Structure 1
Amino acid sequence: MADVVVDPGVPPEDARLLRESRRVLIKMRHGWVPEPRRSVSGLRARRIASLGGVAFFGLLMGVGFLGRGLGLLLLVLLGIPLMIVLFIRSDLAEEDDDEEDYEREVYEQLRWYEGRYVLPDDLDESSARILGRAQRAIAAVTGSRVNAEGLLDDVRNAVMLPAQEWEIARLLAKLSALRTKHRETVSQGLTPKVEAVAAPLARALDSSEDAVLARVEALERYAANVADAERAYLAQHQIEELRGRLHQYEELVAETGADGFAVPELERLAEDADRLEQALRRSVSSAQEAFRYLDP
């Protein structure tokens, strides 16, 4: 299953960012808001002050207490390593700040899209399985050669299939959230009166899942018809390749004197090609008919 399912109405660049920002989206979903931006000059000032303090401390030890020569030696042995450590820590702090800046930018861009994406974490186990089935069916259609060659309604596929995926994901996310709350409530134990109310509500949840599942099964039927067309398409091309070399076979069997054995088989190639072309047309028609059941 894809990490993030996005409403097809989201602009493409923002949709791409949504799909690439699952970690930030999860933090946002749990109420995370980035801290105000810290100034770069303030970070540099702190680093300079720290390094200056180390240098001053080393010189103070060398000149004021232990003499110039020994002080300089201690500065080399202690001050410089400490400065290196502080430089490294400062660089790591800058990397953390860069990460915070990136997450802040993502937050500013994507905070308007709450409700227009579904995360894997939004789905319970049953819903995740159902969405996975839908996505596999969609991938089978969009990845087929008959779709790439335009034998299907590729324009409608490009519009309708993402819309179907989003609608299925959106409904399953709502179902999962409500089902989780329902289970938490009933797990506490119910009185007979409350149970009488809860039971029909549980059936409503099951009915909703069945309705979404019917959408997915329609997608799977469409994918199955496309698979039939794909097999017919492949077989037709294989036959066409063989038929294109038919004269070479005929020359070979004539030269070898095997006419009586091979020619009848070779002549069937043309008939097979015609039958496969008809089968392909029927398969494509069946796929297009199945597609109509996906229209809203």
Structure 2
Amino acid sequence: MDLVVDPRTPETQARFLRESTATLELMRHGWVPARTHPDHGAAAYLVLLFVPPGLLLMSDLTLLLPFVLFVTVVVLAFCAVPWSEGRMTDHARYERLRVLAGHYVLVDGLDADCARLWARTRAALAVARGSTALDAGGELALGHLEWQVARLLTRLSDLRAEHAQLVTPEIEEVARPLTSVLERSRAGVEARVACLERLAEAERTRAWLGRLSTAVPRYQELLDDALDYQGR
């Protein structure tokens, strides 16, 4: 399973998504965590139970009532805040991921054709991103292409599976326009993949030329030494 994040997503949210891959996989299979109640221990509840009444009994009711009300509100608010030793609860993580649903795509379970296109995409991206000449703008452009391909392949694979179930041989001719839409969509995705592959090939050529240029002086040194020996 590959997680692809929309490159327009703020970095803090993108990092949160990448750290939540396991939870996203569970959510994809229908997992919903139980809502848990915050557990702050018995101390807060004992304070709420005994301190306000004790203060009221020992002091003037009129003067102390505002303070008692304030303490009560603070303790109640403290008890209501989800907290678990600084860790985000499963339900809180789940809710936050639901809000970010449109900012990522899980690439998994593709049909054979889409899986091959995705494998080509990943291979091309690995080469292009390994370039020493890649700047921030180039990385952003690659991210946008990756995002587009991931989303399109996921949708194409899902819709083709649904199409195969709906379109029987008896209505195949009637559904031909819809089949054509799938074919044209597939061609559009492959055009993006081919663009990435051209970028990867350009990087391979650039790297090869770089290695060749560093070797040229050694060729020249060899030739000079050989001619110098012959001239003696």
- TM-score, normalised via structure 2 length: 0.69
The answer to whether structure 1 residue 5 and structure 2 residue 4 are counterparts is yes
Structure 2 letter corresponding to 1:223: A
Structure 2 letter corresponding to 1:135: R
The corresponding residue for 1:26 is: 25
Could you say if the C-alpha distance between residues 262 and 177 of structure 1 is closer, same or farther in structure 2, counting changes exceeding 3 Å?
farther
Determine the C-alpha separation between the residues in 2 that align with 1:258 and 1:216. Answer: 50
Report 1:203-282 matches (<5 A).
203-240=180-217, 242=218, 246=221, 259-261=228-230
Moved more, 177-186 or 31-40: 31-40
The corresponding residue for 2:117 is: 130
Moved more, 124-133 or 214-223: 124-133
Report 1:163-242 matches (<5 A).
163-186=144-167, 189-191=168-170, 194-240=171-217, 242=218
The corresponding residue for 1:156 is: 137
Ranges of 4+ aligned residues in structure 1 off by more than 6 Å:
none
Structure 2 letter corresponding to 1:239: V
Give the counterpart of 1:118 among 83, 90, 105: 105
Determine the C-alpha separation between the residues in 2 that align with 1:199 and 1:21. Answer: 41
Percentage of pairs with the same residue: 36
Determine the C-alpha separation between the residues in 1 that align with 2:216 and 2:89. Answer: 55
Bigger RCO (CA 8 Å, 6+ sep): 2
Could you say if the C-alpha distance between residues 249 and 109 of structure 1 is closer, same or farther in structure 2, counting changes exceeding 3 Å?
same
Determine the C-alpha separation between the residues in 2 that align with 1:101 and 1:124. Answer: 36
Could you say if the C-alpha distance between residues 262 and 105 of structure 1 is closer, same or farther in structure 2, counting changes exceeding 3 Å?
farther
Structure 1 letter corresponding to 2:32: V
Q: Which has the higher helix share?
A: 1
Deviations 1:122-170 (A, max 9, x none): 633322221221121122112023x25xxxxx23311111001001111
Determine the C-alpha separation between the residues in 2 that align with 1:105 and 1:210. Answer: 41
- Per the alignment, in what secondary structure is the counterpart of residue 5 of structure 1? strand
Could you say if the C-alpha distance between residues 249 and 216 of structure 1 is closer, same or farther in structure 2, counting changes exceeding 3 Å?
closer
| Gap regions ≥5 residues in structure 2 | 43-83
Determine the C-alpha separation between the residues in 2 that align with 1:204 and 1:5. Answer: 25
Task: Work out which of the two has the higher radius of gyration on C-alpha atoms and give 1 or 2.
Answer: 1
Could you say if the C-alpha distance between residues 125 and 113 of structure 1 is closer, same or farther in structure 2, counting changes exceeding 3 Å?
farther
Instruction: Give the deviation of 1:249 after TM superposition.
Output: 9.9
Contact 2:2 2:108 in 1 (8 A): no
Determine the C-alpha separation between the residues in 2 that align with 1:185 and 1:22. Answer: 33
- Per the alignment, in what secondary structure is the counterpart of residue 115 of structure 1? helix
Aligned residue pairs total 191
Instruction: Give the deviation of 1:262 after TM superposition.
Output: 8.8
The corresponding residue for 1:288 is: none
Could you say if the C-alpha distance between residues 39 and 167 of structure 1 is closer, same or farther in structure 2, counting changes exceeding 3 Å?
same
Contact 2:107 2:150 in 1 (8 A): no
Contact 1:130 1:213 in 2 (8 A): yes
